[in-house]
Structures are given as structure tokens and as C-alpha cells.
Amino acid sequence: MYGFRARIGYTVAAVTTEVFPVDFYKIVPDGVSLMMFMLPLGERSPEDVKKCYDMSIEGAKTLAECGADLVVLGGLPINLSRGGENLSELMRSLQRRVGVPVSSSTTAQQKAYKALGSRKVGTVHPFAPDQNARHDRQLRDFFGLEPCGVHAGGWDLKTVGAIPPECALEWGRALKKEHPEIDTINFAQPHWRVIDAIETLEDELKVNVMTSLQAIAWEAMRMAGIDDRITGYGRLLREF
């Protein structure tokens, strides 16, 4: 079968899912498959986030019942909606309940920052500037990093799949130019085209690049015991 090395379950926090599976399969080696459970994200209102949190729990159970070897809970705002201090206990209790290892997109990014030695992080996200403060707050309060600027792309949840691939390069360069102290660029939100910009920006700007999709794929493979070093998509997958 397709997932003869690992079948990875992922609860998807998006209005639609188009870019994620395409780019995920660019990264992972043959024998790794992706099982997705869609969450009803809507417009990221408090009601939507609560609904998605509850559905994440059911989604993990469904994915495990369908044969997933492990489950990654998607959506950083959803992961942290009950408080970052409660996330580890959530994953432990959920793992006991569903019978397979459980992680989260938040945990994946936390581990990725640590592996890369990140300290001063700038964020590029595809949404309106009203999301900037949230990203800075999460970097500082949950990840323990120094926020060093945010670039907002100005798109929305329903249009992220149509963002031209060159935008990641342009926005990453603009952020680094405005904030030269950055040692790591964080491309937030895994449903727009970013992964093909990772190597170029790392080589050109001499920074680490951490994307949420890249971190999720890396965390899932390492949890599954797959230690392949993947080239073409940044230091995280190539060296750790």
C-alpha cells in the first residue's frame, strides 16, 4: 500500500485544502502517506476555533481508527486555544485515548526552532495586518523567542491557495531588508506556496527558514522513525 513506511494522520485547519498535500508529497520519501481530516475553520472566530478544537479530538480518533500510525493536530490557534501550558497534557491524554502517538503543528514548530537554534524570528504570513500582533505574541509568549518584525501578505483564508509562488520570495526578502537582525524567517500557515522558496532564501539571506508545513512533515517523519535527510527544502529537513 502507499504508506508502507508511515501513514500520517493530520487534522486540517483550513477552509479548503489544496496546497498542503501537493507540497507535503514533494517533501516526504516514497512510502509515506498522508491521511487528512478536515476541520470546519470558517473565518477563525472564537466559535470556529472552539468547534475546530472539539472536532480535532474526534478527528484524531477517526484517523487512528482508519489506520494512521500517528496523528498531528493542525492549526496553531486551535492547538493553543485552551492555553499553551495545557497542550502537552492534551496530546498525552489523546494519545492514551486513540492508541497512537499524537503531536501538533505547534509542537512541530517548537521543536524546529530549537533544532535550528533560532533566537530572533521574523514572521511572514499571508493574511491582513490585523494578525501581526497575534504572531508576535505567540513567538514571545509560547515559543520563548524574540519577535523581529512581521510581513502581512493581505490575502484571506479563502484565497491562500491562489497566492503566486513568487510572493514567498518577495515577502521574505522584504522582511529581512527591514529587519536585518533576523536569524530565522517563519513562514506561518501551511496552505500557501512557500516550500520552493526555502532553499533560495536560506542561501541568499543567510538565515534559517522555518515553515509550518516543513516542520509538520519533519516532526511526523521523525515520530515515525523515518530519519531520511531530505534535500531541497531547507536545513531543518537536511540536517536534523
Q: What is the pLDDT of residues 203-213, one digit of tens each?
A: 999 999 999 99
Residue 8: its H or E element = strand 6-14
Say yes or no: 145 and 81 in one domain: no
* pLDDT average, residue stretch 208-219: 98
Predicted pLDDT at 40? 79
Predicted pLDDT at 77? 66
Say yes or no: 135 and 98 in one domain: no
Q: How confident is the model over 137-186, as pLDDT tens digits?
A: 999 999 999 999 999 999 999 999 999 999 999 999 999 999 999 999 99
Cell of 27: 517533501
Q: Running DSSP on this structure, what letter comes out for residue 211?
A: E
Q: How confident is the model over 47-60, as pLDDT tens digits?
A: 777 888 888 999 99
Q: Is residue 76 part of a domain?
A: yes
Predicted pLDDT at 50? 82
Q: Is residue 196 part of a domain?
A: yes
Q: Is residue 58 part of a domain?
A: yes
115 exposure class (CB count in 10 Å sphere: 0-12, 13-18, 19+): middle
Q: Is residue 234 part of a domain?
A: no
Residue 42 binned pLDDT confidence (cut-offs 50, 70, 90):
low
Say yes or no: 114 and 90 in one domain: no
Q: Running DSSP on this structure, what letter comes out for residue 149?
A: E
Q: Is residue 41 part of a domain?
A: yes
Say yes or no: 57 and 117 in one domain: no
Say yes or no: 126 and 88 in one domain: no
Predicted pLDDT at 43? 66
Domain hosting residue 72, numbered range: 6-105+216-228
Predicted pLDDT at 189? 94
Say yes or no: 97 and 123 in one domain: no
Predicted pLDDT at 47? 79
88 exposure class (CB count in 10 Å sphere: 0-12, 13-18, 19+): exposed
Q: How confident is the model over 90-134, as pLDDT tens digits?
A: 889 999 999 999 999 999 999 999 999 999 999 999 999 999 999
Phi-psi region of 124 (alpha: psi -120 to 50; beta: other; left: phi over 0): beta
Say yes or no: 71 and 114 in one domain: no
Between 11 and 49, name the one with better pLDDT: 11
Say yes or no: 16 and 97 in one domain: yes
Say yes or no: 91 and 39 in one domain: yes
Q: Is residue 235 part of a domain?
A: no
Predicted pLDDT at 44? 64
Residue 13 binned pLDDT confidence (cut-offs 50, 70, 90):
confident
The pTM is what?
A: 0.94
Q: Is residue 92 part of a domain?
A: yes
Q: Is residue 130 part of a domain?
A: yes
Give the up-direction half-sphere exposure of residue 120: CA atoms within 13 A in the CB hemisphere. Answer: 10
Say yes or no: 204 and 120 in one domain: yes
Q: How many domains does the chain have?
A: 2
The pair phi, psi for residue 42, each rounded to 5°, is: 65, -125
CA distance 25 to 33: 8
